[in-house]
């Protein structure tokens, strides 16, 4: 991957593991996300970090799967962090300065670099959705779209957050 090795090179205190030789499952990329950000330095660290309008292009033959989506004010967008390394189990995020396990982070670096954001849906035009609330690089592959239901997706009784949601590497 371009930039993967240098941008995501392990830091002191990080642990990389050998990944399995084969995958357990395959996924279909169903679209492409267009954003204003071409480098990680420019990219917001989480979906609340920018009000930029981004475009989600859903590829054929999946356009028909968008029927009815305009009824929702917010969507859950699932995407694939295609430029992230996948082998770190312990990471030292810059904002923490100490090691933390990958599954206790929102870092894009993980065995399955699947990301999600809850976005505000502004407009649907054919196979293109205009949304606010993404934090990914331009041309990030789209894995799935789901309607956001506050009644289901927000527990409403969360304890105070531990750590910062600004949890890239
Ligand atoms: C901290 S992650 C959070 C992703 C998602 N909101 C989540 O919580 O699952 C966001 C960061 O991932 C990095 N990133 C964005 N798009 C990427 C891509 N296509 N490949 C690798 N890294 C990416 C950028 O550094 C960005 O700031």
What ranges do the domains of the chain cover?
28-150
pLDDT digits (tens, 9 = 90+) for 65-114: 999 999 999 999 999 999 999 999 999 998 888 999 999 999 999 999 99
Q: What is the pLDDT of residues 131-159, one digit of tens each?
A: 999 999 999 999 999 999 999 999 887 77
CATH number, domain 28-150 = 2.40.30.70
Q: Ligand 1 centroid to 130 CA: how many Å?
A: 19
- Whether residue 115 has its Cβ less than 6 Å from ligand 1: yes
pTM of this structure: 0.93
47 has pLDDT over 50: yes
* Predicted local confidence at residue 156, as pLDDT: 82
Q: Out of 108, 137, 167, give the residue to mutate to test ligand 1, the one with the largest number of ligand atoms within 8 Å of its CB.
A: 108
Is the distance from the beta carbon of residue 78 to the nearest atom of ligand 1 less than 6 Å? no
Cα atoms in the Cβ-side hemisphere of radius 13 Å centred on 120: 9
Stronger pLDDT, 83 or 164, i.e. the higher one: 83
How far is Cα 95 from Cα 138, in angstroms, rounded to an integer? Answer: 24
Q: CA nearest 33: which of 52, 53, 66, 56?
A: 56
């Amino acid at each position: 991957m371009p930039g993967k090795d240098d941008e995501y090179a392990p830091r002191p205190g990080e642990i990389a593991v050998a990944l399995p030789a084969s995958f357990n499952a395959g996924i279909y990329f169903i679209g492409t996300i267009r954003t204003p950000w071409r480098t990680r330095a420019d990219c917001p660290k989480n979906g609340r970090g920018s009000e930029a309008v981004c475009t989600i292009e859903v590829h054929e033959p999946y356009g028909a799967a968008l029927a009815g989506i305009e009824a929702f004010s917010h969507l859950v967008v699932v995407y694939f962090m295609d430029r992230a390394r996948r082998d770190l189990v312990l990471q030292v995020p810059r904002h923490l300065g100490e090691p933390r396990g990958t599954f206790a982070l929102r870092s894009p670096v993980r065995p399955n670099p699947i990301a999600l954001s809850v976005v505000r849906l502004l407009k649907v035009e054919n196979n293109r959705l205009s949304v606010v609330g993404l934090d990914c690089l331009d041309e990030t592959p789209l894995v799935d779209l789901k309607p956001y239901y506050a009644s289901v997706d927000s527990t409403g009784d969360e304890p105070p957050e531990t750590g910062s949601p600004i949890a890239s590497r």
